[in-house]
Structure 1
Amino acid sequence: MLIGHIKEIVRHPVKSFRGESVQQTKIMDYGLYGDRSHAYLDETKKGDFLTITQFQEMVRYQARFVGEDSMHEYPKTEVITPDGEVFDWDNEQLIKELETKSKRQITTIKYKPSYVPIGPIAVEHVLLATDASLAKIEELWGQEEVDARRFRPNLMISLIEKKPFIEDEWIGRRIKIGSEVEMEFVGHCKRCMIITVNPDNAERDSSLHKTVIKENNNNFGIYASVIKTGDIHVGDEIQFLD
């Protein structure tokens, strides 16, 4: 049964930084190629990941891969700062800037292209959301356009039947994306304060989170685990296998 197609693919080369929208990528055993493969550690908290929760301005830094994806090593990983400067992700000047702004001591960690553990990614491999649910939350919030980047989905699905929150009924079902990739929906995405942070200016507004809590039990999006790896592309059809 055809349910829709991929509207957008977003991967996040650096955890908690703004991701990059790509036209195609590989789905690995752990999720999108290179997703959350690079991260900063907060040494003031014994090496926990530095995230938007502690330092909300991270949403204004954009990370991107520059070059061809490789299974041997990642392409060059660049960061564009809010001021428009471009650095390698582990550049000393960039790290110093992040330390000064966050008031934390920072170190770096990088995983292999073949393996990124679940911890840096989230609680599961891939996060999906639907255009119908995004439109409904925007309607219910009633304040301004809801930027999908607040929810940090890997895949935005354009549904054939525009039924808001229909994905909440998909847990346990399997899908096929394009001609190769298969996934199984495994759980709701419970939301935290990160969705309150405006991706453009890093300002917080708790009313959006309150809306998600009230209208959909604090769920937005759905996690899926990878069953079969392969390539995906914007526009690929998504269909149920059961």
Structure 2
Amino acid sequence: MNELFIGHIKEIVRHPVKSFRGERVQKTKIMDYGLYGDRSHAYADADTGKFLTITQLQEMVQYQARFAGEPSMEQYPDVEVITPEGKVYHWDDEDLIKELEHLSNRTITTREYRPTHVPIGPIAVENILLATDASLEKLEDLWGKDQVDSRRFRPNLILSLNEKIPFVEDDWIGRRMKIGNETEIEFVGHCKRCMIITVDPDHAGRDASLHKTLIKERNNNFGVYASVKRTGDIYAGDEVHLLD
């Protein structure tokens, strides 16, 4: 099988709690469902059973979730949440739940999945969401307003491309990519964007102009989804190769 070296993994981001701010890590494992622990914990509306997300509570972007401890296949490490005020809670602490209930005007329940199985739903449409540095830079030019913060798009992987061709990932759909020595993913489709990208990750204010730019210039597409074909460990800085 032919391999084309196209760049490196620039950033690895996992989101231990759905819709909370993710954590950048230097290494992790790609499981059948995606990054280890990605969207493994979530809050839900007790009345509707639907996940609580930034769509319903935009302030969620200001809460930082992180694993505290070594990863295990038997159980996840404890999940800590840092509030916008800097307080640190366990993710299901009663005081934190009350705070979120007050902000959302909802009764909230918690959901936690196993390290070996996070179903599609908490994760989104597919296993892994990927973006490139060239596309982020080009979108900044198209928007012409502020620096584009990658956290708005909640990618799991950001690639640093050897050739800075914006939106080249459009051409990868249907192809496989090798990460490091063993892991393989297959690109399956574009990511259609919603209002979440309009929410500033720092102060939770909304600005619809970025979304309007994407709709106009990119048919509302940014980033590509991939399914996992071969599991394994990945590291920031790993080479990535397109496979024929």
TM-score, with normalisation over the residues of structure 1? Answer: 0.99
- The Cα of 1:239 is off from its aligned counterpart by 0.2
Residues in 2 aligned to 1:23 and 1:194: alpha-carbon distance in whole angstroms: 26
Report the counterpart of residue 181 of structure 2 in structure 1.
179
- The Cα of 1:132 is off from its aligned counterpart by 0.3
Alignment of 1:203-242 (within 5 A): 203-242=205-244
Report the counterpart of residue 201 of structure 2 in structure 1.
199
Letter in 1 for 2:232: G
Runs of at least 5 residues in structure 2 that lack an aligned partner in the other structure: none
Letter in 1 for 2:201: P
Letter in 1 for 2:44: L
Letter in 1 for 2:179: I
Residues in 1 aligned to 2:231 and 2:75: alpha-carbon distance in whole angstroms: 19
Alignment of 1:1-242 (within 5 A): 1-44=4-47, 46-242=48-244
Letter in 2 for 1:201: H
Letter in 1 for 2:122: P
Residues in 1 aligned to 2:218 and 2:84: alpha-carbon distance in whole angstroms: 33
CA deviation profile, 1:134-188 (whole Å, cap 9, x unmatched): 0000111011111000000000000111010110111000010000100100000
Secondary structure, counterpart of 2:227 in structure 1: strand
Residues in 1 aligned to 2:29 and 2:68: alpha-carbon distance in whole angstroms: 16
Cα root mean square deviation, aligned? 0.5
Letter in 1 for 2:94: E
Residues in 1 aligned to 2:159 and 2:62: alpha-carbon distance in whole angstroms: 24
TM-score, with normalisation over the residues of structure 2? Answer: 0.98
Runs of at least 5 residues in structure 1 that lack an aligned partner in the other structure: none
Task: Report percent identity of matched pairs.
Answer: 73
- The Cα of 1:241 is off from its aligned counterpart by 1.4
Show structure 1 runs of 4+ deviating over 4 A.
none
